[in-house]
Amino acid sequence: MDFLERDLERRLTPRNCLPEARTVIVCAYPYPSVPAGPDPGWRTRLTGRIAAYARGHDYHDVLSERLRSLCEDLHRAGAGRTRVHVDFGPLAEKDLARRAGIGWYGHNTNVLTKRHGSFVVLGCILTDLDLAPDPPFTEEHCGTCRSCIPACPTNALDSGPTIDASRCISYLTIELRGPIPMSLRPLIGNWVFGCDDCQTVCPWNAQSNAIPPFLRPSLVDLLSNSENAFQAAYAATAVARAKRRGLARNAAVALGNSGNAEAVDPLARALREDRDPIVRGHAAWALGRIGGREATKVLVGTPTVSEAPPVAAEIRAATVTARRGGPSPGPRL
């Protein structure tokens, strides 16, 4: 996430996005939440988890359309220039949301609102219309609650409230394009796109009882999907940001964390046939994590001579682990 630091000055200066800007209108758009509890049967069913905000059509498109409609009202009220901003380009949306009176920084580093908690996405309109500002949100309603900090599987949160983005599951499963650090893979559980753990424990977050199937996808399907199948399933959703290779990589990690021997065959096919070295490397790791005779047989029988060095290294390390029987499946998630 080095780009955040590089663009810091631009993010703090809205006129870099619209030189004529006099006002920033900030909106919080709520989305349906998922249940707080774990999914104890995922290892048997081999299902993953997708963060709740990614359900349905891509929030970038949905919120942008609504804000553009609001811009039409602004133009009728005398605005000459407007610009819609929904999580793209350099703009510090969370700071602007606090200054606009929407909410406060929670210890999960999200903006919390009294009505919807942190289950909101933010959007901004920059305009040259000079509007009277709302008072900033100066209160802090987390009190002594620190539930979100120990709830983070990778210990990315502290009481700052700040976050180590390099350990955040949302960063690892979405923004990180290369291999996931080996030490963090077992901690990801079955998250394949984003993570809601620090939100679902928050007392401010009201949660739904429904579990949409979209949020519990088949890990085997995610691993084996072609580019066309991936596009057909996710092109209109926020999940598309992870790209096919990222989602397949994440599915391989989750299959390894399942400890389920039924995952060996799809992982073996990915190791032999997937064109992407990132996916093949993580499939090898997953086989080593599952361990056992069949996983070991696959790894030993996979030639490394023609493989890219990082994939060959993953296969060799996984073979050693598998021959030891594989590690324990890890925490029950």
- The residues annotated as belonging to the active site are 87
Q: Cα–Cα distances in Å, from 118 out to 121, 198, 203, 212, 287?
A: 8, 10, 10, 20, 37
Q: Measured between alpha carbons, how far is 195 from 199 in angstroms, rounded to an integer?
A: 9
φ/ψ of 122, rounded to 5, equals -105, 145
Q: For the CA atoms of 70, 74, 80, 83, what is the dihedral angle to 10 degrees?
A: -30
Q: Are strands 191-193 and 49-50 parallel, antiparallel or unpaired?
A: parallel
Q: Measured between alpha carbons, how far is 332 from 323 in angstroms, rounded to an integer?
A: 24
* Torsion region of 89: left, alpha or beta (phi above 0 gives left; psi -120 to 50 gives alpha): left
Q: Measured between alpha carbons, how far is 275 from 121 in angstroms, rounded to an integer?
A: 35
Q: Measured between alpha carbons, how far is 107 from 34 in angstroms, rounded to an integer?
A: 20
User: Both tokens of residue 182?
Assistant: 């080996």
Cα 120 off chain centre by: 14
Q: Measured between alpha carbons, how far is 123 from 84 in angstroms, rounded to an integer?
A: 8
Contact assessment for residue 148 and residue 161, using Cβ atoms and an 8 Å cutoff: no
Q: Measured between alpha carbons, how far is 283 from 254 in angstroms, rounded to an integer?
A: 10
